[in-house]
């Protein structure tokens, strides 16, 4: 498990590095955060089709002549809510591991289910965010920034979904006559390591993508 998690660290590290490279090269909306841009350059980009009308509507004239201000598309309060949900899922996972290690099957089952539900809620937030970004003109094809953003967050979401499936399989197995076998604590703890890793990765992603300005 530790070798696997180490390889996953390298994987996400490369994706985050790629995102940071392209994040600094954004010169047209949609931008992740509020950005000022020359109005003439913006109008030229719209006329040439480099950006869509939808994306251009995020910008408006500023108080300074010839300069437009473009709204950022990142919704920090919303993403903070989803981050809180994922953090609470880690707390639930700790309680599930405790129940498994101390031969308390009902406690283990309850908190495994709670962890799964919180993971699904987090994925719901992510789907909503992706749809909103698409409506505002940010897609995989929009720019290298858009591609790196969706690949990074999409792969993380996939890891969360895999984690939910792993926990679901453990929960279903716990209802069998033999339960999780002679070492339920080990199995749940191993799943917990994966789940906590996914949560920690999201904290890094949330900080780098949403809290550090371009």
pLDDT at position 210? 85
Average the pLDDT over 36-42 and give the result. 65
Is 170 found in the same domain as 131? yes
pLDDT band per the 50, 70, 90 thresholds, residue 3: confident
Boundary-marking domain end, from 71, 93, 116: 71
pLDDT digits (tens, 9 = 90+) for 140-181: 777 777 788 899 999 999 999 999 999 999 888 887 756 666
What CATH number did the domain enclosing 139 receive? 1.20.120.80
Give the tokens for residue 164: 């939910």
Residue 111 pLDDT exceeds 90:
yes
Considering its fold, how many domains does the chain have in total? 2
Note the pLDDT of residue 180: 64
Question: How far apart, in whole angstroms, are the C-alpha atoms of residue 67 and residue 53?
Answer: 18
Q: Is 63 helix (H, G, I), strand (E, B) or coil?
A: coil
Closest CA to 119 of 74, 64, 163: 163
Tell whether 110 and 191 lie within a shared domain: yes
Longest dimension (CA), the chain: 75
- How much is the pLDDT for 80? 93
89 HSE (CA, 13 A, CB side): 31
**What would the pLDDT profile of 63-86 be if each residue is shown by its tens digit?**
677 777 777 678 888 999 999 999
pLDDT at res. 157: 94
Instruction: Please check whether residue 105 lies inside any domain of the structure.
Output: yes
**What tokens does 142 get?**
């929009």
Question: Which residue segment(s) compose the domain that 180 sits in?
Answer: 76-211
> Which comes out higher in pLDDT, residue 104 or 143?
104
Are residues 80 and 51 part of one domain? no
3 state DSSP class of 174: helix
How confident is the model at residue 195, as a pLDDT? 94
Mean pLDDT of the chain: 82
Whether 20 is in a domain gets the answer no
Compute the distance between CA of residue 88 and CA of residue 133 in angstroms, rounded to an integer: 26
pLDDT band at 186 (very low <50, low <70, confident <90, very high): confident
Determine, yes or no, domain membership for 83: yes
What confidence score (pLDDT) does residue 35 get?
Answer: 66
Lowest mean pLDDT among 50-54, 123-127, 196-200: 50-54
């Amino acid at each position: 498990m530790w070798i696997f998690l180490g390889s996953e660290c390298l994987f996400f590290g490369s994706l985050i590095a790629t995102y940071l490279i392209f994040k600094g090269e954004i010169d047209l909306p949609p931008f992740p955060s509020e950005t000022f841009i020359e109005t003439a350059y913006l109008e030229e980009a719209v006329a040439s089709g480099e950006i869509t009308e939808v994306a251009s509507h995020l910008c408006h004239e500023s108080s300074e002549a010839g300069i437009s201000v473009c709204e950022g598309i990142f919704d920090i309060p919303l993403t903070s809510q989803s981050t809180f949900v994922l953090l609470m899922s880690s707390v639930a996972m700790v309680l599930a591991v405790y129940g498994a290690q101390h031969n308390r099957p009902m406690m283990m089952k309850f908190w495994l289910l709670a962890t799964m539900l919180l993971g699904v809620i987090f994925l719901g937030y992510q789907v909503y965010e992706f749809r909103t970004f698409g409506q505002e003109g940010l897609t995989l094809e929009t720019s290298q920034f858009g591609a790196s953003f969706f690949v990074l967050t999409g792969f993380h979401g996939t890891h969360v979904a895999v984690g939910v499936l792993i926990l679901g399989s453990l929960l279903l197995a716990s209802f069998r006559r033999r339960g999780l076998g002679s070492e339920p604590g080990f199995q749940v703890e191993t799943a917990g390591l994966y789940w906590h890793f996914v949560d920690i990765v999201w904290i890094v992603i949330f900080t780098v993508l949403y809290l550090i300005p371009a």
